[in-house]
Structure 1
């Protein structure tokens, strides 16, 4: 499973707990949508199902909750999802009993299925769907993985691949031959996973039509999914050669391939426009749904980061974009030449702030020029660091035995002292009242008035990056499309 966020600097990523879970998941929707391999429950019982799949334990359910922010409770949205799942389940092959769906409190775009029929969707994915057929296509895809027993098949394939690698390492003494065989084994597994994705896509289109939904909902949602990936990646650095090599081994077919496949499958069933694609019902179901970061993890408002739990805030330098996670914040400049990381550590009992910074917390970077300062009224230090290809400015502020750390890195020899000073000057502690103002952003459904345009709708989302593009993405139409007076659209606001 690939990381939810593109890797660019210092392990750039979101929801780090998901990276451990990544070893157990094989992907589908979003950057990855996955089926968790079955595992034996404590008593070794087999789930009562047609296919001989071991019961997935509650531990796997808890791992998903822990990795993706826990369960998000939205009764109206959950009721709409339950209704869709029930309709799909009645038409699916290999019915295993009642399916159960959980909304995950994560802005990432993901959906998952456990072999026992537990389904999961993130609220980030729900925000992208524009009608009942589109979200039904996601759920049908996941149900398809369950009924096709993809988890068991993948587990068997992975066991076979592991055995091949073990034999290769023991028998072949030539490292080059060994590496070539193991690479071939990985490629075989990736191709196998791609085949499963295409199969689940095909199942989803058939299930949509059987349940009375518009089978073209799958292609529309995949198109939005591709646009979302492009939107999130735009402005970032170009892929490295290593990134591109890894993409070739990805378990997911490219989105255009999937769109072409599901469109062809839909054409064999019906002409466009047939079947339910109720936009009004779905938009009502997600009105008020939280969007973006959870305030408990800290929220990004433009260049400003606010954490209501830690009661701190700071602003990134001009031109930076930020991403917040449970235990870190990552920032990248528009041209990719500078990168920022914020996180925290606990000092040892006998350690001072100055000695900690002097010891250096970045491997291979020499720390010099340590200067005592204050940040938000708290003791702090700022220092200079030099690596092979990057020049660093480091800052650390102490709260009791806890140290909050900033790393600002610039390519080459240019010293990023000035932007680091701007971060230091912006850092402040929040009063309890200020901390409570860090409310989540929400999806708001609004009616277009006569004369409304994309630009006027974008003005309702001033804290969003590229609001006009985001408005078009969320509402599933291109730049040339005009708004229809009286029609309902998604905007993001408090």
Structure 2
């Protein structure tokens, strides 16, 4: 689950309730994670939450395309943005090494920052990614990267290497009756495949920058977007991970260095166009953040009208609503939380539900059964090496919800956890009207960014979020009468 970095090992199901897409499991088997390790799990499709990437091994039928789009919330209704994406794609195709390749781009109704491509030329971009970009050239940089994966046949090459590695390991283990050597070869192949995938990403980066420049866009846009992606991840409590030999993506810092170097080989900063005005015109009014049908974060409160529940987190927590769970973290990362819905067998006790959904040992003294706002609940304590966990399973009607809070080290988050669990309560769907947040393009009236930041409808760190949303560094001066993006209700 994104943002928890493996501390919570969940068997819970997503809040959105999307049916499993088993037919897509093979098609999207080559999905790869970025260097933060964050993932989003729409149905069984394991597509990471951050970083442009390629995915897929074979041509997708229309039915598979529809299932994939549905797993990301459907197509976003934003004609201006869709038109911009199509026009940018057409412009890039003419400048690419394969101007005969046909592409179709789909705007996905998902708040996560994501883009990927299928080998048949289908390109997918989330509205979350479009919102994060600062101008048309940054969107073009993402599309050029994905198109490079297609023209370079990366998915096919990776699939062939995977099959060849698996075949060698199986022959050694089964035919030559040497399982130890077969296991060793299989382990070695994992490192080889990860290295191969990282090399593909860097190759797609370099090819994308060249295509970007040939199309007349600013080639330095690729580095700008990756920097924005890195800062956006930081706002969610993520950070660049240490080098990992099994990582399938290079580190963001390395990618920024290499794409900037590639751009400098083409020319000095200032070449090409960013088409910022047309980008802002297209995204003005674009839905931002959670789709209310999947629940929404409003300040320190999470509301899900479809499930008919709501809760409020303690001060200091920033919330993120994914399709798998609601995640939260404090700014210093010392406390984290997770909320999800889990399956419970008929007649299964709530403490048994907790035990079945958790891999680590429980402290026998930490079990407690009591009611929360009139609903039955079971509580438990688990002490890990680096974290102390408080857990609860609460049954409301026919549904069972799991709440987990972690404190770093031996710090027991019990007081904050009890405060949080006590706020979980049913709400009437008819009594809650959630409207999506939207991007609004406004003009600056003064050089200070604080004035526009105060108008941001975000739960925390409004200034930081405003700066990231507009590709600005701290201390940057706004240009009076120049247009900028804010998040508005």
1:7 aligns with 2:2: no
Is contact 1:373–1:380 with CA below 8 Å preserved after alignment? yes
Q: Quote how far apart the aligned CAs of 1:288 are.
A: 1.5
> C-alpha separation between the residues in 1 aligned to 2:379 and 2:121?
53
Q: What secondary structure is seen at the aligned counterpart in 2 of 1:280?
A: helix
Determine if the alignment matches structure 1 residue 228 to structure 2 residue 224.
no
2:409 counterpart of 1:403 = no
SS in 1 for 2:128: helix
Match of 1:443 among 439, 449, 453: 439
TM-score, normalization by structure 1: 0.83
- Would the aligned equivalents of 1:302 and 1:463 in 2 still touch at CA under 8 Å? yes
Q: CA RMSD in A?
A: 3.3
Q: Which residue of 2 aligns with 1:299?
A: 296
Q: 1:86, 1:206 → 2: CA distance?
A: 16
Aligned to 1:321: 318
Q: Which runs of 5+ in 2 are unaligned?
A: 15-19, 35-47
The 3-state SS of whatever aligns with 2:212 is helix
Partner of 1:35 in structure 2? Answer: 54
Counterpart of 1:50 in structure 2 is none
**Does residue 133 of structure 2 align to residue 129 of structure 1?**
yes
Q: Spell out the pairing of 1:247-326 with structure 2 (5 A cutoff).
A: 247-326=244-323
**Given the superposition, is the C-alpha separation of residues 420 and 198 from structure 1 closer, same or farther in structure 2, using an over 3 Å criterion?**
closer
Indicate conservation of the 8 Å contact 1:24/1:37, yes or no: yes
CA deviations 1:68-123 (Å, max 9, x no partner) are 22222211110111111111122222234431111112222211111111100111
**Which residue, out of 467, 472, 481, partners 2:467?**
472
CA separation in 1, counterparts of 2:336 and 2:33? 29
2: distance between equivalents of 1:358 and 1:210? 56
Shift of 1:168: 4.6
Give the Å deviation of 1:410: 4.0
Change beyond 3 A, Cα 1:199–1:15:
farther
Match for residue 194 of structure 1 among 190, 194, 198: 198
Partner of residue 163 from structure 1, selected from 161, 167, 178: 167
Deviates more, 1:75-84 or 1:21-30: 21-30
Aligned to 1:51: none
Distance across 1 between alignment mates of 2:74 and 2:252: 28
For residues 384 and 487 of structure 1, what CA distance do their matches in structure 2 show?
Answer: 54
Query: How many residue pairs are counted as aligned between the two chains?
Result: 464
Secondary structure of the corresponding residue to residue 266 of structure 2:
coil
Q: Which of 105, 108, 120 lines up with 1:104 in the alignment? A: 108
Structure of greater relative contact order (alpha carbons < 8 Å, 6+ residues apart): 2
Residue segments in structure 1 that go unaligned for 5+ positions in a row: 40-54
Judging changes above 3 Å, is the alpha-carbon distance between structure 1 residues 229 and 412 closer, same or farther for their aligned structure 2 residues? closer
Q: Which residue of 2 is the match for residue 212 of structure 1?
A: 216
The separation in 1 between residues aligned to 2:97 and 2:13, in whole angstroms, is: 34
1:340 matched to 2:359: no
How far apart in 2 are the matches of 1:490 and 1:6? 29
Give 1:477 deviation, angstroms.
1.7
Aligned-partner Cα distance in 1 for 2:256–2:13: 28
Q: 1:427 to 1:91 in 2, by over 3 A?
A: same
Which residue does the alignment assign to 2:485? 490
